[in-house]
């Protein structure tokens, strides 16, 4: 499995630790509130909200927390949130995309720029690294749903574009605009996915050694610690030996 996919697994394990759960829940709840505010509060009629709720459930967010987040949108909360994407370079020239949701653009920009600078990176202009990624829909299944051929056939039938299978499971990619439809078709064939979301998929990657990975993880941790930052994506690649050493 590619390095960036392994980083997603590291993030998942880290996100389940008690120290990170409340921050993770808060960010997922914010996405639900904004998604509900921008469209219909009924997930069945709002694709973005449906995906936000699904991602929250996959991270064990309680139903009452999800319901409260939707109700907040109807009470006027989420009106002031603005979605902003920052792009820059981390240690060793790794490309970094930071997606934020904020009610104060100046505060967030200042914090993100400072975090890059303090951790060996540089915040760039919009578009400075975006060309190294493609916006895709991503659906993740565990290895237990079937072998690579079974999942590949289901993915083709669902309208997906690509599948990456390993002993850890299956990562299915599709056009970003097709995610809701593809995810529904896959669910009918393979059952509930472990994760369904929009991602930035690297087109080119940067190889890192152990020291480079340690520096990059420090930057990512610092960025994700910011309440305004929703998610961080990089284009690193690392060997199995480096990942195991972490």
Residue 57 belongs to domain with CATH number: 1.10.10.200
Domain range spanning residue 139? 132-202
Indicate whether 136 and 186 sit together in one domain: yes
DSSP 8-state code for residue 104: -
Mean pLDDT in runs of 10 for the chain (246 residues)?
50 55 86 86 85 86 89 76 92 94 93 95 91 94 92 95 92 94 93 90 90 92 92 88 78
Count of structural domains, the chain: 3
Residue with tokens 């987040």: 69
Distance CA 10, CA 7 (A): 5
Distance CA 179, CA 244 (A): 32
Indicate whether 173 and 209 sit together in one domain: no
Indicate whether 103 and 222 sit together in one domain: yes
Q: What are phi and psi of 86, to 5 degrees?
A: -110, 145
Indicate whether 114 and 142 sit together in one domain: no
Indicate whether 120 and 222 sit together in one domain: yes
pLDDT for res 48: 86
Q: Where are the beta strands (DSSP E) in the chain?
A: 82-89, 95-102, 122-123, 133-142, 162-166, 169-175, 195-202, 206-207, 229-234, 236-237
Residue 145 belongs to domain with CATH number: 3.30.70.980
Indicate whether 66 and 11 sit together in one domain: yes
Indicate whether 213 and 198 sit together in one domain: no
Indicate whether 41 and 102 sit together in one domain: no
pLDDT for res 7: 53
Count of other CB atoms within 10 angstroms of residue 93: 13
Distance CA 241, CA 11 (A): 18
Burial class (CB in 10 A: 0-12, 13-18, 19+), 127: exposed
């Amino acid at each position: 499995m590619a390095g960036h996919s392994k980083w997603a697994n590291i993030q998942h394990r880290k996100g389940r630790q008690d120290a990170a759960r409340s921050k993770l829940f808060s960010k997922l709840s914010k996405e639900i509130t904004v998604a509900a505010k921008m469209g219909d509060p009924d997930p069945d009629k709002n694709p973005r909200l449906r995906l936000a709720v699904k991602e929250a459930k996959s991270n064990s967010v309680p139903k009452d927390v999800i319901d409260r987040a939707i109700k907040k949108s109807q009470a006027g909360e989420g009106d002031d949130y603005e979605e902003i994407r920052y792009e820059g370079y981390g240690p060793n020239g790794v490309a970094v995309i930071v997606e934020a949701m904020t009610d104060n653009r100046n505060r967030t920009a200042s914090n993100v720029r400072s975090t890059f600078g303090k951790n060996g990176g540089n915040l760039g202009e919009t578009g400075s690294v975006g060309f190294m990624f493609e916006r895709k829909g991503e659906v993740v299944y565990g290895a237990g749903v079937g072998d690579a051929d079974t999942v590949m056939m289901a993915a083709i039938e669902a309208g997906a574009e690509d599948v990456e299978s390993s002993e850890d499971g299956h990562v299915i990619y599709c056009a970003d605009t097709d995610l809701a439809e593809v995810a529904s078709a896959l669910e009918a064939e393979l059952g509930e996915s472990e994760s369904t979301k929009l991602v930035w998929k690297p087109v080119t990657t940067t190889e890192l050694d152990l020291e480079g990975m340690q520096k990059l993880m420090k930057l990512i941790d610092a960025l994700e610690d910011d309440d305004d930052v929703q998610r961080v994506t990089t284009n690193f690649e690392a060997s199995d030996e480096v990942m195991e050493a972490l």
